[in-house]
Structure 1
Amino acid sequence: MEAATPEWLRAGDSRLRLHTIVRLRWLAVIGQSVTILAVHWGLGMTVPIGWCFAVIALSAWLNVALRIRFPESQRLTARSAFLMLGFDILQLAALLYLTGGLQNPFAFLLVAPVAVSASALPLRWTIALGLLAIAAASLLVAFHYPLPWCHQGQPVLEVFHHSVAWCYAQTIAIPRLYVLGVWTAVVLGIVFIGFYTWRTAQENRRMAEALAATEMVLAREQRLSALDGMAAAAAHGLGTPLATIAVATKELLRETKEGEPIYDDLLLVRNQAERCRDILKELSARAEELDTILSRLPVSHLIDEVVEPYRPLAVPIAVTTGPKPGVPAKSDAAREPVTDRNPGVLYGLGNIIENALDFAKDEVRVEATWSRDEVRIVVTDDGDGFPPEVLEQLGEPFVTTRPAATFDHDEPGHAGMGLGFFIAKTLLERSCARLELANRPEPETGAVVTVIWPRKAFETPQSCNRADMAI
């Protein structure tokens, strides 16, 4: 199944709005300003405060310019977002250069722009930003202003107990091994956090695409289900105009003598109007019949309706229905469950049966059983079964047991995107169903898909509470 991907989910696009970048940068500007002031005036450490605020002012002026030039709702292209996050890395690197390089404990903030990119930009842009951040960290190992350990000839940290002369004559030498350790931690943080964030965001994007496809399928099934209601509405709406046409033609026929040129035409109009009224009456009666009779159907009829389109295929389908073994024959639990017609359930079961037919060799079996507490539908085929390596992942979007879909429609064999079963699973779970996947026990081969509903939720879908089924 192919689904239209929402514009904001297309590969290569950015999901970042300008408003988000601007707000994050204002937060950075405030944090950097407070930190510089606290270090200079609070701790009494001498820093090149003028240069520091010049670097911070660049970010502030860039934000002001962006807010004047673009609206808040402006969505950034991937390239624009990359340039802005790259600027943030370089601005932070300039501040670190003025305040001790990697000896500055705030050096770990180089990870932040890469993490933002990983959550919203394509992988290639995130890799580029990661390399830029690593390059900046590498340069800061060797090139930076020394940490301002002294203020007015006195050590800032009292634990050193050195003389004033020492403060002027010496600079605390941080061991190179320690600096290399900080560099390693920053680089590993960029790589690990960047990859972890990208992977999580990628899963969310794939899930959003799959859910969009699910909504499209459900909407289509609901439109098909609503056709009977539309027919009834059409019959009601067209009844009055047709009655007016019939009355008008009847009056005209009274005033027209038989044999006149328009007499036959008026007679034809009246007959066709009466025929339209009969058709509309039939449609209205059929819609009412469907509403009263077919809006609810027992399990056996549900299975028959799902299976019927696949009967002409070469692989036979064997259907069995009945109470679960051990249920007393005349008990209330043995009564066949009846449920509302649900397009999502019909589509979901149909997709499972279609998949079974695709992989079956000789037969597909559909077995429906019920008890006092549950309704169970089991679909079994005699194919090769689920590959063990994907069995635990089936039901997730873009996970399939078939070869990847290609544009060569003449190529034999199965092809799929991994969305069909995900959509079926999602629609069935909306009706409070639970799916279990397994392979047939050896020496038999084939896949087994079991769909299980609580009987109360199956018979009265209004009572379905999916939150109660969550783990």
Structure 2
Amino acid sequence: MEKHNDGPARDTGLTERWNAAVSGGRAPGHKNMLLLIQLRWIAVAGQVTTIVIAAIVFGVQLPLPYMLEVVACLVGFNVASHLRWSEQQEVTNSELFLSLLVDVISLTAQLYLSGGTNNPFAFLYLLQVILSAVLLRGWATWIIVLATSVCLAGLALFAKPLPLQLDHSRGIFSLYVQGLLLCFALDAALLVFFIRRITNNLRAGDAKLAALRQRAAEEEHIVRMGLLASGAAHELGTPLATLSVILGDWRRMPAVSKNPDLLEDITEMQAQLQRCKSIVSGILLSAGEARGESSVRTTIHTFLDQLTAEWRASRPVAAFDYYNRIGEDLPVVFDSALKQMICNVLDNALEASPEWLSFVATREDDMLVMSVSDSGPGFAPEILAQFGKPYNSSKGRPGGGLGLFLSVNVARTLGGTVEARNRPQGGASVQMRLPLAALVLEEESADAE
């Protein structure tokens, strides 16, 4: 049995889709780097405030010039980080690691100048460790743990304690205990605030990746359906041609040509046969295998007017309201897939509401908006929740829901959307939105440039 090993190809395609998705927005790593930059600004403000309060309010003797130099270096690093990451969108694990390492070094320098391990704010090391556990890979997290441990041990050995009387017997009135409580409150608040935001970033990235995987699976499903449809169209070509020859022979037979009733039946059969051949040609054209047809330059008004006229003539609809409110008539290129997308939506509306339906085409800025409304029972809530998914249908027959599934994916391929809702006055409405840039002729776009 032949085995297909297309895993790497799928992973490559998924990676390309991921890169394309985050190029227009921000990847989780970039968002996390921006959070670290915000946290560093908070650290700068906190350090300046603490230095001012300790020196002025409590009269603590601090090496202010050196401590302010550390603050200035941290400000310079943060400004450079902000300028860099406002231009570059991709952030690696190593870059996040180095950023956290700078924070550890700056905290160590400030603690060395302000009492070492006797400074209650030494517990801020835990903030760096926990952030590294959330943001970094395993090896980088353990390096941060080792670095903070070494820095803390170095402070215990080399830092000079501040000339403070640490009178623990005073309880909460002790300056050290008050600093400890403030450090704990600051640690807890920053951890809750930033870890929640970081977790939301990671969840958003996972959700986007899951959506891309789902889209890749749906596109693979469409490819399989396209191959089956193309194969079926090829198989149907021969019997349709045979039937066409037989009907032509029958039409020329004297017994038939002299019988008006038989001649009318054969004429109708030939018309229906021609329609079948047209459908087969459309399938092959969508698959890139045209049966002698070529693309025809048309306009948006002509295409929609002809499509609705052909659809209405071949369907038993009692009342069909068509409104073309696009305005300017633009030269465009439409393929059979787009035509089939619109017909699928109209066919579904006709099944739900044979008495009446409407088709309205308008233009909103650079978007072509087509709305199909009916007076049927509307969509069930579970159908709306999974709208556009394969086999999501209330018709209760095999293959139900594939028409809307294909319509959603054709629109998505062109950069558009298909949305459904229930109308307040009853019935349902399906809105197709397509960017005109995907439909306008290439030469017209070039002239406009």
Does TM-score exceed 0.5, indicating one fold? no
Q: TM-score, normalised by structure 2?
A: 0.41
RCO higher in structure (CA 8 A, sep ≥6): 1
